[in-house]
Structure 1
Amino acid sequence: MRTLPLIAALGLSILSPTAFAADAWNETLDKARGQTVYWNAWGGDERTNAFIAWAGEQVQARYGVSIRQVKLTDTAEAVTRVIAEKAAGKEDGGSVDLIWINGPNFLSMKEKGLLHGPFVAELPNARFLDLSPASAASVDFTVPVEGYESPWRLAKFVFNYDSERLAQPPKSMTVLLAWARQNPGRFTHPDVSNFMGATFLKQALIELAPDPAALQAPATDADFDAATAPLWAWYDELRPQLWRNGDTFPANESAQQQLLNDGEIDISMSFDPASAAAAIGEGRLPDSVRTYALDGGAIGNISFVAIPFNAANKEGAKVVANFLLEPDTQAHAQNIDVLGSFSVLDTRKLGDEEKALFTALPTSPALPRNEDLGRTLLEPHASWMTRLTEEWARRYTK
């Protein structure tokens, strides 16, 4: 008889793993209190800097954790610092607690054993993420994240169009070609030497390639030729229909946007779903411009934060990473008056109260809803972009 309470107690502990997770997180919160997190982040955008300052105020008030932004011009600066500390034998007490990291630097740090983790599963707000193996929150430029970095903001490839001149925009690359034939000279893309022009090619490649999954592996000669053959056939037909017969291209996204504003073209493109709404507010685009993503999904680029292996304030860094995933934080970041950065959260995992945070945001006719952006497509391996731009230049420049 006396074994029953013991069995019951054991059964309760086995059936309640969340209790252990909650205890572990409470311990993290206790250790984090009073810590100052040195967040190394690109400092070239004032709205982002203001958001980080706001986040510092919030985590200080809620958790007793301070944020000190170390403004970078290049993420490699922070990576170099961590490498130097490891070479000097500084295994703890490091100067970098959190890094806004990008794919190549993440891969470098991961391969060199410079990252703390995996830690994402410890974050209570990770329950709002899609962490399935092929999701954009689980893969960073084809590198599996494996819990060593945490998402915090999303960029996504979209098109902007003037609804007064174009009632139904083309929602796929094949339909775009048909539309361009009927409307010669009304579409173009930035020069492929520019990131936005290269992204347009990558978006088309994902749709047209016989096996899009092959784009996640490094490009070989045979794979490249097979995957890109439909792309070049499509582009051969598209190019003569482009603005100025495809003989010249706007230098970048801003130049293409100016063509849209001037009425020379009907469609432009961006990697920021809020960019058109912001431009309308600033008088740089007409009120009739609208934003959309392609029906088959759009390339997405998630920004992550990572914790170095020797961070002095690992607990505080985890608290900040978890705070960045709070639905109210994500909604604040998505506010077009704040950052206009779309949420990394999976809307299917949000309750009614969390969804209401987003529906209550300031809106604009040009601002798409989260659900309008569709599926997030993974970036191809970096080698594909290099080969694409080189092959495009070989084929189409004199």
Structure 2
Amino acid sequence: MRPVLIAALSLGLASPAFADPDHADWAATLEAAKGQTVYWNAWGGDARTNAFIEWVGDQTEARYGVRVEQVKLSDTAEAVNRVIAEKAAGRDSGGSVDLIWINGPNFLSMKSQGLLYGPFADELPNARYLDLSEGSAAVTDFTVPVEGFESAWRLARFVLVYDSARTTPPATMAGLADWAAANPGRLTHPAVSNFMGSTFLKQALIELTPDPAILQQPATDENFDAATAPFWDWYETLRPNLWRGGETFPENQSVQQQMLNDGEVEFGVSFDPAAAASAIAEGLLPETARVHVPEGGSIGNISFVAIPFNAANREGAEVVANFLLEPATQAHQQNIEVLGSFSVLDPSKLGPAEQALFAALPSSPALPALEDLGPTLLEPHASWMSRLVEVWTERYTK
């Protein structure tokens, strides 16, 4: 069979023909995907991410005949519950969810219940650009082995966003309690039902717990109280000095960023090291906005996409997942004028032409170098986030 040549993106890089033994299978996937519409269920709370997904759909439709429709979610659990309901109803094919942006507890839930198609991710042609060695970020999701049931697409690191002309952040999360006491009402975090709110709590938990290694094991009745006791002491001190006395919280990070820009609070939060640079480029934050990583590093993970077991357009979903891993796509995504998310690709696996795409990207005084972010802290086992949010809600929700 003749090699299938992938057309060049407008970014200027053509992917080579695939010479691996499974090329015939991938050619069949491309053929089956033509004309499919992939319903990509993804958090819809960020306009730049939504625009990037729309761009992905334009590209895959032009190149492969695969359309993408984003189903915008406020919570990934919405899509998970839909798949659960379809399985309970015996709908083992023709499902309504083709691709899902997923991480952590939701991945654990779907994987453990047999709700995912796969393994497929390691067999994607562009998976060759990833570090898939044991222990790498691309093969573990919140300590849960990926095992090919989801595919990487963007890198995330927890950062605080602030205006350097107005304030200087404390070095640590622990120091936020003293900062808030000296600046009452000027600090908040997103609602903990939102992943950025729960990540704010987890970042503090990792720093404050006596033995961070315990967080890599499942949370249990036996280990939870001891591991979280210093965290709850810290939060009890912090809460009265939060915005509106810690009685209410912004819905998500985008709302909090607007509050930062309006001068209502002094910090935003993001999982994107390019958050300040991107917001400056959009005119959403002043030129003096910067990102801060707590001393000792911050939580980092990879965002993945997965395909439900009953996806109606599985081949199209695989094509989209593979397209997300193209070096040209990853470079476009990392552009601070587009999305600004750091690439998930292993630089050592890129050739000179591919590396040149990243070297040519625009920079900004507000954009940190990867080495400036400090160590990447491992995500706790997914059960810690679930239990932490549950206990927080019991304590602080009337």
With the length of structure 1 as denominator, give the TM-score of the two structures. Answer: 0.75
Higher alpha-carbon deviation: 291-300 or 309-318: 309-318
Q: d(CA) in 1 for partners of 2:97 and 2:248?
A: 40
Provide, for residues 145-165 of structure 1, a one-character-per-residue CA deviation record: whole Å limited to 9, x for no partner: 111110112343211122224
SS in 1 for 2:111: helix
> Paired residue for 1:110?
111
CA contact (8 A) 2:276 2:291 kept: yes
SS in 1 for 2:138: coil
Higher alpha-carbon deviation: 203-212 or 353-362: 353-362
> Paired residue for 1:83?
87
Report which of the two has the higher share of helix: 1
> Paired residue for 2:385?
385
SS in 2 for 1:323: helix
Q: Cα distance, 1:192 vs. partner?
A: 5.5
**Judging changes above 3 Å, is the alpha-carbon distance between structure 1 residues 163 and 98 closer, same or farther for their aligned structure 2 residues?**
closer
**Judging changes above 3 Å, is the alpha-carbon distance between structure 1 residues 120 and 256 closer, same or farther for their aligned structure 2 residues?**
closer
Q: d(CA) in 2 for partners of 1:383 and 1:54?
A: 35
Q: CA RMSD in A?
A: 3.9
Q: Where in structure 2 are the equivalents of 1:340-351 lying within 5 Å?
A: 340-347=340-347, 349-351=349-351
Q: Cα distance, 1:72 vs. partner?
A: 5.3
**Unaligned 5+ runs, structure 1:** 1-19
Please tell me the residue identity of whatever aligns with 2:289.
V
CA contact (8 A) 1:99 1:307 kept: yes
**Judging changes above 3 Å, is the alpha-carbon distance between structure 1 residues 230 and 310 closer, same or farther for their aligned structure 2 residues?**
closer
Count of equivalent residues: 372
**Judging changes above 3 Å, is the alpha-carbon distance between structure 1 residues 165 and 111 closer, same or farther for their aligned structure 2 residues?**
closer
Q: Cα distance, 1:352 vs. partner?
A: 4.9
CA contact (8 A) 1:194 1:251 kept: no
Q: d(CA) in 2 for partners of 1:200 and 1:317?
A: 32
> Paired residue for 2:211?
211
> Paired residue for 1:190?
189
> Paired residue for 2:8?
none
SS in 2 for 1:299: strand
Provide, for residues 128-183 of structure 1, a one-character-per-residue CA deviation record: whole Å limited to 9, x for no partner: 3333454442233443211111011234321112222446x4343345556667x5
**Judging changes above 3 Å, is the alpha-carbon distance between structure 1 residues 52 and 84 closer, same or farther for their aligned structure 2 residues?**
farther
CA contact (8 A) 1:28 1:315 kept: no
Q: Cα distance, 1:49 vs. partner?
A: 4.7
Q: d(CA) in 1 for partners of 2:166 and 2:350?
A: 37
CA contact (8 A) 1:115 1:309 kept: yes
Q: d(CA) in 1 for partners of 2:303 and 2:81?
A: 17
Please tell me the residue identity of whatever aligns with 2:37.
Y
> Paired residue for 1:25?
23
**Judging changes above 3 Å, is the alpha-carbon distance between structure 1 residues 205 and 24 closer, same or farther for their aligned structure 2 residues?**
same
CA contact (8 A) 1:136 1:377 kept: no
Please tell me the residue identity of whatever aligns with 1:75.
A
Provide, for residues 1-44 of structure 1, a one-character-per-residue CA deviation record: whole Å limited to 9, x for no partner: xxxxxxxxxxxxxxxxxxx9702134412542362343222364
CA contact (8 A) 2:180 2:187 kept: no
CA contact (8 A) 1:243 1:265 kept: no
Provide, for residues 294-335 of structure 1, a one-character-per-residue CA deviation record: whole Å limited to 9, x for no partner: 343322353322234455665554333222111210111222
Q: Where in structure 2 are the equivalents of 1:1-398 lying within 5 Å?
A: 22-33=20-31, 35-36=33-34, 37-42=36-41, 44=44, 47-59=48-60, 62=63, 64-69=64-69, 71=71, 73=73, 74-76=78-80, 79-80=83-84, 83=87, 87=90, 90=93, 97-166=98-167, 169-174=169-174, 176=176, 183-185=182-184, 188-190=187-189, 193=192, 195=194, 196-235=196-235, 238=238, 242=241, 247-248=245-246, 251-252=249-250, 253-254=253-254, 256-258=256-258, 260-263=260-263, 265-309=265-309, 314-347=314-347, 349-389=349-389, 391-392=391-392
**Unaligned 5+ runs, structure 2:** 1-17
**Judging changes above 3 Å, is the alpha-carbon distance between structure 1 residues 250 and 190 closer, same or farther for their aligned structure 2 residues?**
farther
Provide, for residues 108-138 of structure 1, a one-character-per-residue CA deviation record: whole Å limited to 9, x for no partner: 4433434332222212332333334544422
